Chain A
C-alpha cells in the first residue's frame, strides 16, 4: 500500500519520543515529590525536637517554627510563603506528647494530580512528627 518509505524513521521516532519524554518527566517529577516529602518530614521532626526541650508551649512553638523554616531551605520547588504549621500537645509537662505538622506547596516540573484530584503543577506536601515533651510543667 505504502511503497515509499521515506520519513518512516522520523514518524516512528515522533511516535516514541512523547512516550519517552512522558516517562522521563514522570520520573523527575516523582523524584522531586519524594525529595520534598523527605525534607518536610525531617523539618517536622527537627522542629518537634527543638520544641520539646523548651520550658513553655509558646517558646516551643517559636523554636519549632524557626527550626522548621531553616530545614525547609533545602526544599526544591517550594512555593514562597506557603509554609504552614500546626502545633498541638496533650499537656506541656514531661511525658506529654507534642504533635507538630509542617506543610508546604511544591511546584513540580510536570503537571500532576494534586490533593484535590485536580491536574496542576502545585501540590501540598505535609509531614508530621509526634515527640514527647521533655521539659515544662
Chain B
C-alpha cells in the first residue's frame, strides 16, 4: 500500500505549486486552531464569571431571606429562608450582574433555578420546598438556598455568525448557601 502511494506520488512530475498548497492548508489549520483556542479560553472565562454571579446570588438570597423563628407547635428555635424574598433578591443580583458579562452578544443566561428538586443535602434527598426550612429532627437545624445558573456561550469562530445557532458551549454553575441557627 505504502509502495503504491509512493509510486503514485512519484509519478506526478509537475510539482509546481505544491508548497503553496501545503502553505495554504497549514495557514487554514493554524487559523482554525487559533479560533478554537480563543473560544476555549473565552468559554472558561465566561464560566468563571457565571460562578461569581451564582455565588453572589446564592449568598444574597440566603442572607436576605434567612430568618430565625420559634416553631408554632412546640416553641423549638428553628431557621428558615423566606422563599419569595430570597428568590426575588437573588434574581435582582443576577440581573444586575448580567449587565457586566463579557462578550454580551455571545453569552446568554437561559435558566435560573432556585433550590432544584432532588438535591442531596447532608445525605438526604430534598424537595424544592424542604430546602427552605430546617428540620426539627436535625441536631444542627439549617436551611439551604441553592442557585443553579444555566446558559450558553456562542463561539466566535463557529457560532451564529456563520452557521446560525449551531455551535455553542453549555455553561452551568451551582452555589449553595446554608443558614444555620446561631445558638
User: Which A residues form the contact surface with B (CB < 8 A)?
Assistant: 12, 15-16, 19-20, 23, 26-27, 30-31, 34, 37-38, 41-42, 44-45, 48-49, 94-95, 97, 99, 128-132, 134
Contacts and interface: CB of A to CB of B under 8 A. Distances in A.
A12 B64 CA distance: 66
Contacts of A94: 63-64
B68 interface: no
Interface of B: 19, 23, 26-27, 30-31, 33-34, 37-38, 41-42, 44-45, 48-49, 52, 55-56, 59-60, 63-64, 89, 92-93, 96-97, 100, 102
Contacts of B102: 37
Contact of A97 (B27, B34, B96): B96
A30 B37 contact: yes
Contacts of A16: 23, 26
Contact of B56 (A12, A31, A95, A131): A131
Given A23-B30, A30-B37, A132 B52 contact: no
Contacts of B45: 34, 37-38, 41
B159 to A, nearest CB: 17
A30 B60 CA distance: 34
A136 to B, nearest CB: 12
B56 A48 contact: yes
A95 B63 CA distance: 9
Nearest to B61: A132
A99 B34 CA distance: 35
B52 A45 contact: yes
14 contacts: A12-B19, A16-B23, A16-B26, A20-B30, A30-B38, A34-B45, A38-B48, A42-B52, A49-B59, A97-B93, A129-B97, A132-B56, A132-B63, A132-B89
Given A12-B19, A23-B34, A30-B41, A130 B48 contact: no
